[in-house]
């Protein structure tokens, strides 16, 4: 594999409840080399954000977790890791489909549909990251979805092609590795710039709702701590944490 950190070791798990749970228990019990990937063929209880389930048909998609040790990052900068991972997935997908974007904070969309979800779980010790488990569910060959809750779509549905999972995993890990190495090198300006440019619905006017009101606004970027910046028609800029705002139309 042409990666320098991510994917030097890939552990294949035939059947596992959740690769994030598995990776986390491995990190607790053993020393896990940075970049190790735990890949599930069948994931029986995949977890999404906010305690949601992650739907993935057996053997059809990529469901895996990467163990990282981003101890070079300050806790306040943790969203940079999410940005780097999103950019790697975006770069991989752009080879196959158009209209890829990042729906803040870290869903990957093609058009108006979600193709990939990311669940990052960090362990912090003495004010630094001791480890980070980056769980990725990327829909590749699944033809239909039972639940339409996250508005799912797969590469197969978009292109009509069936993909070799081993080959696409390799390509994907190479792209994530590229951006993770940029982060290690401190190339933060470039990561921030690219991430903002890829934001879903960037600069287009929509209706937003927060706990106080509903208004017309447009996403203009993300601040230093990863909050979404939405400008109202009056010019006022609101900054939100995850789940503090929803966008309607």
| Using rule CB under 6 A, residue 47 touches ligand BTN | yes
Instruction: Single out the residue of 3, 10, 13, 19 in contact with ligand BTN (rule: CB under 6 A).
Output: 19
d(CA 160, CA 76): 42
Options 25-33, 63-71, 120-128, 192-200: segment touching ligand BTN (CB under 6 A): 63-71
Contact string 107-146 vs ligand BTN (x = CB under 6 A) = x---------xxx---------------xxx---------
Q: Interacting stretch for ligand BTN, rule CB under 6 A, among 2-10, 48-56, 139-147, 184-192? A: 48-56
64 vs 163, beta carbon nearer ligand BTN: 64
Question: Is residue 120 helix, strand or coil?
Answer: strand
Three-state secondary structure string covering 27-91: HHHCCCCCCCEEEEEEECCCECHHHCECCCCCCCCEEEEEEECCCCCCHHHCHHHHHHHHHHHHH
Taking CA atoms, 25 is separated from 67, 108, 122, in Å, by 11, 27, 13
Q: DSSP code of 5?
A: S
Task: State which residue, 56 or 238, has the beta carbon closest to ligand BTN.
Answer: 56
Instruction: Number of residues interacting with ligand BTN: please give it, by CB under 6 A.
Output: 19
Q: Quick one: which of 3, 36, 63, 101 contacts ligand BTN (CB under 6 A)?
A: 63
Are 176 and 90 within 8 A, CB to CB? Answer: no
- Which residue ranges make up the site for ligand BTN (CB under 6 A)? 18-20, 46-49, 52, 54, 63-65, 107, 117-119, 135-137
């Amino acid at each position: 594999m042409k990666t320098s950190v991510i994917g030097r070791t890939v552990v294949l798990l035939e059947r596992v409840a959740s690769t994030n749970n598995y990776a986390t228990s491995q990190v607790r019990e053993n020393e896990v080399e940075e970049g190790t990937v735990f890949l599930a063929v069948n994931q029986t209880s995949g977890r999404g954000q906010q305690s949601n389930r992650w739907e993935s048909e057996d053997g059809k998609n990529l469901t895996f977790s990467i163990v990282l040790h981003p101890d070079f990052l300050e806790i306040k900068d943790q969203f940079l890791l999410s940005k780097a991972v999103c950019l790697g997935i975006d770069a991989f997908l752009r080879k196959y489909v158009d209209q890829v974007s990042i729906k803040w904070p870290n869903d990957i969309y093609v058009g108006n549909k979600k193709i990939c979800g990311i669940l990052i779980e960090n362990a912090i010790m003495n004010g630094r990251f001791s480890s980070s488990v980056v769980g990725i569910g990327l829909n590749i060959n699944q033809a239909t979805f039972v639940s339409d809750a996250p508005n799912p779509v797969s590469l197969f549905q978009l292109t009509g092609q069936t993909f070799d999972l081993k080959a696409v995993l390799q390509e994907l890990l190479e792209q994530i590795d590229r951006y993770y190495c940029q982060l290690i090198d401190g190339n933060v300006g470039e990561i921030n710039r690219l991430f903002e440019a890829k934001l879903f619905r960037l600069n287009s006017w929509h209706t937003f709702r927060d706990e106080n009101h509903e208004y017309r606004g447009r996403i203009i970027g993300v601040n230093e701590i990863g909050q979404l910046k939405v400008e109202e028609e009056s010019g006022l800029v609101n900054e939100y944490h995850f789940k503090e705002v929803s966008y309607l139309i």
